[in-house]
Homo-oligomer: A and B are copies of this chain.
Amino acid sequence: MRIDGRQNDELRPIHIETNYLKHPEGSVLITVGDTKVICAASIEDRVPPFLRGQGKGWITAEYAMLPRATEQRNMRESTKGKVSGRTMEIQRLIGRALRSVVNLDLVGERTIWIDCDVIQADGGTRTAAISGSYVAMALALGKLTEKNEFKELPITDFLAATSVGIDPEIGEILDLNYVEDSKASVDMNIVMTGKGKFVELQGTGEESTFSKDQLEQLLSLAEKGIREIIDIQKEALGDLAQKVLENEKKE
């Protein structure tokens, strides 16, 4: 039995509060069990130097934790004066994932800044950040589409993420909390689209390995979880979800 009584293929309770902040174009507070992440999407009217003059947009993400999001206080990266390797890896992952479901030609020479700030951490912060950021980004792009900044909503599909892993005693499980994650012999983060395609697959067996059969089972669990999260995203997005569905079919 899992530590919090869940079935092996059961997600933690997920809640997405939209327009959580006053200032950003799009924002949410996403809650996955005890993990809480504020995701904000900001639109800037220019792109980084390497893209200038190409008429294409860009999406870039930043991720941070409050010092007391965790059990032990963690030192601020601004105080350390540098961003850790773990943070950079997560930031690059979030940006890449979101770029796979946005038509950057439609966005034009604009940068979408995604800020993910973990208020409270209990495992799965990076996948919660992706699932939440997708909604914040959709709200922001929806707002600009309404103002006729784009000729149509530049989002081509849904996108969500979750983690799966292998517990040495219980086997393959879905959506690991912090305690489960610490014990897991294999840990995998998966990002998928509404059409069921993979966007990112990052599996790692730190001091351990896994077979092709185990991989199969992990992928099935992830697929089930992500389908459920996308349903929650659709509810949060309301009418906007409909427009994404239309785009998804067009592809």
Binding site for B on A (CB under 8 A): 21-24, 27, 34, 38, 40, 42, 44, 62, 64, 66-71, 73, 76-89, 91-92, 96, 99-100, 104, 113, 115, 117, 119-120, 122, 188, 193, 195-212, 215, 219
Contacts and interface: CB of A to CB of B under 8 A. Distances in A.
A66 B40 contact: yes
B209 A100 contact: yes
A49 B96 CA distance: 32
Nearest to A200: B204
Contacts of A23: 68-71, 120
A22 B120 contact: yes
Nearest to A113: B73
27 contacts: A21-B120, A22-B120, A22-B122, A23-B70, A38-B119, A40-B67, A42-B67, A44-B73, A64-B78, A66-B117, A67-B115, A78-B83, A81-B82, A82-B82, A85-B89, A85-B91, A88-B88, A89-B92, A96-B206, A99-B207, A100-B206, A193-B209, A197-B205, A197-B209, A198-B210, A198-B215, A215-B219
